[in-house]
Amino acid sequence: MAHGSPKCHPSLLHNSTYMDHLKLLKELIAIPGPPGQEKLVRETLASHLDKIGLKHETDAKGNLLVNLGNSDRPKIVVTAHMDEIAMIVRRIEPDARLSVGPLGGLFPWKIGEGPVHVLTAEGALDGILSFGSIHTLDPASTVRKADSISVDWDMVSVITGLSSKELTAKGVRPGTRVVVHPSRRDLSHIGPLVAGFFLDDRADLVSWLLALKQLKGTKASVLFAATTSEEVGGEGAKYILQRLRPDVCIALELGPAVEDAPVALSDQPTVWATDSYASMSSEDGELLETLGKELGMKLQFQALSRGGSDASSAAAQGLCARPITLGLAMANTHGFEIMHPNAMEELARLTVALVQRIG
């Protein structure tokens, strides 16, 4: 496999392993999983763990746990989060429009007008995320407000075509989750790259599963956790880590392609040297550099000015001693994200080597 280059050899398109990874990614991004409502994602991951032959359990927070070392206090916890950025209903307006706000770092202009699903206990309702019409000079309209200020959530609504009474009868209320519609949950291929919503963190869940498969039978003291509610403060990971207090938390994440911490959209993993919450130790940075050389990887280190992971947000509260965040190089983060498909396997390879070296 070529390293450090976004080029994808045509023969990979006929490689069954490569296609299986993409098939799994497509399966995962098709499933809605807003913070606090990750059940469908968890059930899908559990079915894949069953196929691998790995025992698993779900804790009270909804985290999916695989304890490879069968230790009551594992030395290492490896996380990838199941939730996606989404919307939450704030209120039903008198005209039956739904006022919505963000769950996690979602901006309305990142998804734009288009179909959404309103997730109720009775099933999903179709809706359209709406900014209103442009043919007006009314200063109260969204389009005129947008002339001078950024589009924010108070300018956005969801139209379902139902009355307020019908919405209430179907269980829509403040707190109901709203997600991107299934018609928009697919992969696009652009040259050697793939793009789609929610590669953060569904692509990392692919790496998480690949690493688990390779580490099956390991004697390392390690717990793998597919976590809940990462996008709203790392709640799931903190619930685990406050009890276990592991030495090391390895979070599998995105590696954002940003101007002040640039990365190439290649298959080479990224490493967060620092972010908004915590900094990785210099010793762990040196360890990763050594592992990268041994594996033939050119790791992409980043000093992020904004962002956080399960590992770093937990470390900031003293819930783990050594935060390590490994990522998939990704553009358009928290939107229609773009990455190199080979990066999932390379991230898994690095994760396995790191766990084996530390554990």
pLDDT one-digit tens code per residue, 270-308? 999 999 999 999 999 999 999 999 999 999 999 999 999
CATH architecture, domain 10-84+198-358: 3-Layer(aba) Sandwich (3.40)
Res 19: pLDDT: 64
pLDDT for 1 beyond 50: no
Specify the higher pLDDT residue, 211 or 150: 211
**Is there a contact between 245 and 252 (Cβ–Cβ < 8 Å)?**
no
Q: For residue 270, what are the β-bridge partners?
A: 300, 327
pLDDT for 7 beyond 80: no
pLDDT for 12 beyond 80: no
Average pLDDT over residues 13-42: 86
pLDDT for 41 beyond 90: yes
Res 359: pLDDT: 84
Residue-wise over 265-280: b if at least 16 C-beta within 10 A, else e?
bbbbbbbbbbbebbeb
**Cα–Cα distance list, 58 to 30, 236, 324, 336 (Å):** 22, 11, 24, 30
Q: Among 235, 178, 180, 177, which Cα is nearest to 202's? A: 180
174: amino acid identity, one letter: P
**Cα–Cα distance list, 304 to 53, 219, 269, 272, 298 (Å):** 38, 34, 15, 7, 19
Query: To which H or E segment does residue 26 belong?
Result: helix 16-29
d(CA 322, CA 313): 12
pTM score over 0.85: yes
pLDDT for 23 beyond 80: yes
**Cα–Cα distance list, 140 to 132, 154, 156, 199 (Å):** 11, 12, 13, 36
Res 14: pLDDT: 43
What's the mean pLDDT when you consider all of the chain?
93
pLDDT for 161 beyond 70: yes
Neighbours of 127 (CB within 10 A): 25
Res 72: pLDDT: 87
d(CA 256, CA 333): 6
pLDDT tens, residue by residue, 210-262: 999 999 988 899 999 999 999 999 999 999 999 999 999 999 999 999 999 99
* Helix, strand or coil, per DSSP, at residue 298: coil
pLDDT for 15 beyond 80: no
Average pLDDT over residues 10-27: 69
Residue 30 in tokens: 């098709």
Q: Which fold has domain 86-183?
A: Elongation Factor Tu (Ef-tu); domain 3 (2.40.30)
Domain spans of the chain? 10-84+198-358, 86-183
Residues of the chain with pLDDT > 90, as a percent, come to 88
pLDDT tens, residue by residue, 57-113: 999 999 999 999 878 899 999 999 999 999 999 999 999 999 999 999 999 999 999
